[in-house]
Structure 1
């Protein structure tokens, strides 16, 4: 089988050594996956207990069974696989303030959306001081004079 592309040469560093990129931290099982609450990296449950998040473990540590949900969430939307994050607009979108790295990331965490929805639902009505009825806070009733 022939291909039209020539194999790329490995990048060579100044001293003649070959520079190799560290392998990405990928979820290894088909089982339960959790997304890091800080960087949204997706890992299997077993990886969380053994390694923790490759980007965040230096500051957050490796969780134990009692604290996993403080570090990660099983509620997320869509897997995004990044292979060349330095050239990807998606990487710039989801990794706004940190160095882009290879790996599998969640597009969005569902826990964040739930807290936003709860805040919006918490304030739709105001009580009227006079008769105790509730009025829609976003569309206040107008008074008419006769």
Structure 2
């Protein structure tokens, strides 16, 4: 777990989700560090990509500290992330 994603620093309308992996962070966090799960999007190098590769429209959020031990991660099939 060396490459852990950042925890969102804001909530509500500030949050965006990556279109590929569904990681949720604020616009500013995507702009500063990109998406840890999808580095090929290069959001941290091209700020217009943040808008192109993320969406403010998503339902719900799950937070998981250790996906290998979480029943919710197994249920959602995200235990191998």
| TM, length-normalised to structure 1 | 0.45
Q: Deviations over 1:117-139 (max 9, x none)?
A: xxxxxxxxxxxxxxxxxxxxxxx
Instruction: Indicate the larger mover: 45-54 or 83-92.
Output: 83-92
**1:77 Cα offset (Å):** 0.3
Give the corresponding residue for 2:51: 69
Q: TM-score, normalised by structure 2?
A: 0.75
Name the larger-Rg structure: 1
How many equivalent pairs are there? 77
Match of 2:9 among 14, 19, 28: 28
RMSD: 2.2
Partner residue, 1:141: none
Match of 1:53 among 35, 47, 57: 35
Query: Mind listing any 5+ residue stretches in structure 1 that lack a counterpart?
Result: 1-20, 101-146
Superposed, which structure 2 residues align to 1:101-140 within 5 Å?
Answer: none
Output the CA distance in 1 between the equivalents of 2:69 and 2:9.
25
Structure number with the higher helix fraction is 2
What is residue 78 of structure 2 aligned with on the other side? 95
SS at match of 1:78: coil
Deviation, structure 1 residue 65: 4.0
The structure-2 alpha-carbon separation of the partners of 1:26 and 1:94, relative to structure 1 and needing over 3 Å to count, comes to: farther
Residues 97-143 of structure 1: per-residue CA shift (max 9 Å, x gap): xx32xxxxxxxxxxxxxxxxxxxxxxxxxxxxxxxxxxxxxxxxxxx
Which 4+ residue blocks in structure 1 deviate beyond 3 angstroms? 21-24
